[in-house]
Structure 1
């Protein structure tokens, strides 16, 4: 609960109302204190408030009681700010909306390439099966850049995996070339600036999973020549040169790992540590000369889920000048007792059966596995909303500031998304929520796109 911009005539009444509400909440939680003033709460730089803070005389223990009553463990204390403005600010404020319209949205991670290659929907005319397609991109109205990630299923082994990655990249570029009036595959900073300035959406190609280079720096350079400008060092599987958050978790960079980082620095490729082990993150922080990122992740402090980032990992990324893109996949963001475990077990059984079928070619295994994931996954009866994403953004902002958090939806890569963020046309819902929760115009612009554009400026050529 954040309130800002009250006129001076309303301050006394507001203090009485807010104080009463706080005391009631404290009583509701069963906490009582012996009296004493609450310390002044300074308005954070990320908020829109420029007014003076107010000291409220409340019983000791009230703040902790409210934390427990409203937030469980009190991770995000609701704060009240009062100032001598001229009314309550909201997302329709004349100051707020025009400023945000000048900003563009950047999504750091979309798996749309695989949908296109597998024929899971028609990108050009739109499909209910896709979260990112041309009509939805155009409906957004504020998109500036999308990172389309190419993932080669590890069933394609060795050099075959590298070749498959190139094939996907070329098919993707052919599809995008049919819409050059709206989309522009961009490989340089000036490409991206020109696309956005010309009213187009820049598309940057990425590869998810270092297994695609088949332990070869020559293959890495070949991906760069093909137009790839971001590499996620691992996926669910580790490589010989980097540990994954899901496999070889205790291992960091090894073998050619440091050479991979040095080559990416030299070429101007963005280093992505989504999915990697924590030791790998710290090794990248030690050897990289440029900012590095987590394109789609979450905060372990908010929800401790496999590849979620610890606060130390977040600090390491931020110290490099990098950013963390927050995923929209609910199961990476919050616990959900409504997940259908029996249905999940059946689906995993189908996937194992496909993987173990020696009569299937790798391409057939990959295609069938993806269809099982997209079609047989049982969406829970309860799906969390925008607040699940906000909590992770807010924690990282409080930890390292608003210049190191972004959005990395994972659209077209997972079965479902938070309510209000079901596809790329709805990104503005998150921008509206951030503004409503007290984030300034500048902060909203940073988070929704500006921070990623800064990394592009610092890394890409």
Structure 2
């Protein structure tokens, strides 16, 4: 009998060890696939592009050591260095409902709690979206601390300018900034905006895949606009020089932001309906309004965004936006590590350059699209 109990105990321990050691990586690698494998050819001047940047990456969700090169997922520091990537916005995903889709989701379920448990994150992250989000923010600073100066977290204009200057003499340097995907993790308390500001968050997508206390989502049940609390939130964000990200926002939320928010606007990861018609993407009217506000539109690398599975599809959408609101208003917004199959990982960025050349963009225009526009946007709009 004792031997049987010991055997059962050993089996249970083995199953637990398998769960905690292997399951998180299995989920990461199965969710974050790529359509095209590298290595990738690049034009002769690719490595001299001064500032390659991207507006949206969810790598912090996966408890991956970003200082090590991985053979799965989309982004880590060694692959950023290979790609000559200067700047990546790391966005925080804190809650995702079951059965996630672009049409309609409620807020009654939460898959990220179980993922946090499987990753052996702190117990407070299992059930509390605010603590979960702050834990991801701290992890990016932890990578910077351990990077021996090769990776920096950017929070203001001076830090960004110093990074740009330092990188002119050391192209191995890279940097990141923190964004928030969904204001639900403010925990229904506007005072928590100050907490997230101090944690380094510099843009906030008001709603993710479900409606929340602040704003309606394009994928929510009601798809309403800004609530009264939401109006207060965007006004306070403006006072702190925090950028509103319109990605995932409902049509009414977007209109309300145009009405009540005077600060900088971006759409961190999207497509456009003029190329790929679905409710996840921006209409021509919305593009024109964002352009008039000197906003920035990040174009994605997944099929729902651009109706294609390669760099040519993303380049086609970039050209559509550039033709409509100007080449200074469009950028990369990959959604790498966002639990979708992407065209390629970060090392595939040279493929976008090649496709933009085919579409007739000049080298100067390509340098803007590949990161110069993001650099200039944040040099203008980050806090002093």
Distance 1:123-1:398 versus aligned 2 partners, 3 A rule: same
Distance 1:273-1:204 versus aligned 2 partners, 3 A rule: same
Residue 50 of structure 1 corresponds to which residue in structure 2?
none
SS in 1 for 2:262: coil
Residue 287 of structure 2 corresponds to which residue in structure 1?
314
Residue 454 of structure 1 corresponds to which residue in structure 2?
376
Residue 140 of structure 1 corresponds to which residue in structure 2?
83
Residue 200 of structure 2 corresponds to which residue in structure 1?
227
Of the candidates 101, 112, 127, which is equivalent to residue 70 of structure 2? 127
Q: Which runs of 5+ in 1 are unaligned?
A: 1-89, 336-383
Q: Is the 8 A contact 1:248 1:277 kept in 2?
A: no
Of the candidates 204, 208, 215, which is equivalent to residue 188 of structure 2? 215
- Residue 159 of structure 1 deviates from its aligned partner by 8.8
Q: Which runs of 5+ in 2 are unaligned?
A: 1-41, 97-109, 114-124, 168-172
Residue 108 of structure 1 corresponds to which residue in structure 2?
55
TM-superposition CA deviations, 1:215-270 (whole Å, max 9, x none): 22111111001111111111001112211000145411112111111111111111
Of the candidates 353, 357, 377, which is equivalent to residue 435 of structure 1? 357
The separation in 2 between residues aligned to 1:262 and 1:401, in whole angstroms, is 28
SS in 2 for 1:150: strand
Matched, 1:178 2:121: no
Matched, 1:416 2:347: no
The separation in 1 between residues aligned to 2:142 and 2:65, in whole angstroms, is 14
- Residue 441 of structure 1 deviates from its aligned partner by 2.1
Matched, 1:169 2:165: no
SS in 2 for 1:198: helix
Residue 274 of structure 2 corresponds to which residue in structure 1?
301
The separation in 2 between residues aligned to 1:158 and 1:319, in whole angstroms, is 42
The separation in 2 between residues aligned to 1:458 and 1:159, in whole angstroms, is 37
Q: Is the 8 A contact 1:113 1:150 kept in 2?
A: yes
Q: Is the 8 A contact 2:75 2:346 kept in 1?
A: yes
Residue 284 of structure 1 corresponds to which residue in structure 2?
257
Q: Report the TM-score, using the length of structure 2 for normalisation.
A: 0.76
Residue 194 of structure 1 corresponds to which residue in structure 2?
162
- Residue 171 of structure 1 deviates from its aligned partner by 2.4
- Residue 448 of structure 1 deviates from its aligned partner by 1.0
- Residue 330 of structure 1 deviates from its aligned partner by 1.6
Residue 334 of structure 1 corresponds to which residue in structure 2?
307
Q: Is the 8 A contact 2:331 2:374 kept in 1?
A: yes
Residue 92 of structure 2 corresponds to which residue in structure 1?
150
Residue 396 of structure 1 corresponds to which residue in structure 2?
321
The root-mean-square deviation of aligned C-alpha atoms, in Å, is: 2.2
Q: Kindly tell me the number of residue pairs found equivalent between the two proteins.
A: 311
Q: Report the TM-score, using the length of structure 1 for normalisation.
A: 0.64
Residue 370 of structure 1 corresponds to which residue in structure 2?
none
- Residue 454 of structure 1 deviates from its aligned partner by 2.2
Q: Is the 8 A contact 1:291 1:458 kept in 2?
A: no
TM-superposition CA deviations, 1:304-334 (whole Å, max 9, x none): 1231111111112111111110110123221
The separation in 1 between residues aligned to 2:368 and 2:260, in whole angstroms, is 27
The separation in 2 between residues aligned to 1:130 and 1:91, in whole angstroms, is 25
The separation in 2 between residues aligned to 1:233 and 1:185, in whole angstroms, is 22
The separation in 2 between residues aligned to 1:425 and 1:102, in whole angstroms, is 14
SS in 2 for 1:251: coil
SS in 1 for 2:294: coil
Distance 1:310-1:137 versus aligned 2 partners, 3 A rule: same
- Residue 203 of structure 1 deviates from its aligned partner by 0.8
The separation in 1 between residues aligned to 2:261 and 2:286, in whole angstroms, is 15
Larger radius of gyration: 1
